[in-house]
Amino acid sequence: MKIRSLRFRLALWVGGFLLASLLLFGVYVYVSMSNNLNAALDDALRSNAVQAMGTVNVNNDQIVLPDGLAENSSDAESAQARGFTVRFLDAKGTLLGGFGANWTTPLPAAPTGKQASFTTVTSGNREPDARVYTLPITDNNRIVGYVQTSQSLEAIQQTLERLQLSLLLGIPFLTLLAALGGYFLAGRALAPVDAITRTARRISAEDLSARLHLPDNGDEVGRLASTFDDMLARLDDSFRRERQFTSDASHELRTPLAAMQTIIGVTRSQKRRAAEYEQALDDLGEETGRLRAMTENLLMLARGEQPVEAQRERVDLSSLLSDVAESLAPLADSKGLKLECRASPNITVQGDRDALIRLFVNLADNAIKFTESGGVTLSAQLNGKNIRVAVADTGKGIPLKHLEYIFDRFYRVDSSRAQTGAGLGLAIALQIARAHGGDVAVKSELGRGTTFWVTLPAS
């Protein structure tokens, strides 16, 4: 049993709370029982005193007791049977007679007044205490004597002692039982937490496949286990993507480096003419440019994943799309394609102008690159609170099985559509759109062309 464990502390808290509750309840029960028993005794003493007073006569301010009071009165017999003692006193407090077990035993002097009163007599010689009720007997508004009824408190004291003993024995036993039960139930309730702990210890960056697979019973622990499994799934997917990204990036970076090394090795293998050296330098420059472009794209992807607030401004999207079309017109003309911009006027968006230019340049450049005939159209229109920009081409189209992967880093459909580039353009475009609170969707038909839709919130 680990003292500092949550299970032990929970059991300790349960036991302590129950102990405090039982103590308060025990005090309440003891006090209530004592008050109720004493109140019942006082009522009985008062009732007996009234009945006893009805058996006496008053003659010339003197109390006259009937002969054979204890033997002839049914009330007297009933009172004696229940353990009551009745005494009759004159106005000076002198004992006149009575009945019961201790009616001759001296009691406190009768009070001088017309008010009835209760007195508790405490015995100093191990005798039980007694409760006494004194009731004045009046005639013509003058006190002529008193009736005193009394009963031993032994029965009440014994009842309270038994109750006290029961509480003193029962409360610790119930507290211990509750603590043990709480410890056991806490172990059952926290078992999934232990499973989570063991699973977390088995997990490493190389293997995130471990899962709890605990049944979701709708309670807090079940939801915790389900959330933990979901988190592991996301981490597993993230690590898998990062490993794939690292592998793809290494492969893509190795290709131009290998080409450069080969060019240098072949060129240095023997003496060459000046034109051959120039050609080698041109080839190296081409590979260097490819390597530089890929490095910049990787840096952009890495920066885009950081939660850094970009510098935002009000951007005229209509003018921006027109500028993009104008800058790419020479590339389209070189392939005999028609590049059009059909953006509605006065469409604005809040964003990073440079990033938005890169977004639409990537999409338009891709469309031109993979279109052999026809043309490319850029269009934009306001649709409620959103702006919808379409980049449509009349190229060969993308096979359906590839559509869900084209936004992955380094993903290329086939050699016919990816003769150049590293497969990062669409990934960058999607990242920029999402950074602006938008998204990118695609629709393609083989032989008919491809359309990319960029949705952005209007400013």
d(CA 448, CA 403): 15
Angle at 109 between CA 104 and CA 113, to 5 degrees: 130
pLDDT confidence of residue 424: 76
What CATH number belongs to 220-304? 1.10.287.130
Cα four-point dihedral sign 50, 56, 59, 60: negative
Instruction: Name the residue type at position 176.
Output: L
pLDDT confidence of residue 301: 65
Q: Which residues of 232-268 are buried (b: 16+ CB within 10 A; e: fewer)?
A: beeebeeeeeeeebeebbeebeeebeebbeebeeebe
pLDDT confidence of residue 417: 40
| Cβ contact 444:403 at 8 Å | yes
Block means of pLDDT (10 residues each) for the chain, 459 residues, are: 71 88 94 94 90 82 73 56 81 82 63 76 74 87 87 89 93 90 81 76 69 69 78 80 69 73 85 85 81 72 53 86 91 91 88 88 89 91 89 89 80 54 77 89 90 90
Name every residue whose Cβ is closer than 8 Å to that of residue 190 and which is 6 or more positions away in sequence. Answer: 6, 7, 221
Correct CATH for 313-457 of 3.40.50.1980, 3.30.70.1230, 3.30.565.10, 2.60.40.740: 3.30.565.10
pLDDT confidence of residue 238: 76
| Long-range own/partner contacts, residues 48-52 (CB < 8 A, 24 or more apart) | 48/75, 48/79, 48/84, 48/86, 48/149, 49/86, 49/116, 49/133, 49/134, 49/135, 49/147, 49/148, 49/149, 50/135, 51/75, 51/79, 52/76, 52/79, 52/86, 52/88, 52/147, 52/149
Q: What residues does CATH 3.30.565.10 cover in the chain? A: 313-457
pLDDT confidence of residue 29: 94
Q: What residues does CATH 1.10.287.130 cover in the chain? A: 220-304
d(CA 206, CA 224): 24
Of 334, 455, 329, 282, the residue nearest 385 (C-alpha): 455
Assigned token pair, 28: 């309440």
| Cβ contact 459:349 at 8 Å | yes
pLDDT confidence of residue 3: 64
Q: Name the CATH architecture for the domain at 6-159.
A: 2-Layer Sandwich (3.30)
pLDDT confidence of residue 39: 94
Sheet holding 338-343, edge to edge: 338-343, 375-383, 386-393, 449-457, 439-445
| Cβ contact 147:65 at 8 Å | no
Of 401, 65, 9, the residue nearest 190 (C-alpha): 9
Count of Cβ atoms closer than 10 Å to residue 48 Cβ: 25
Q: What residues does CATH 3.30.450.20 cover in the chain? A: 6-159
pLDDT confidence of residue 415: 45
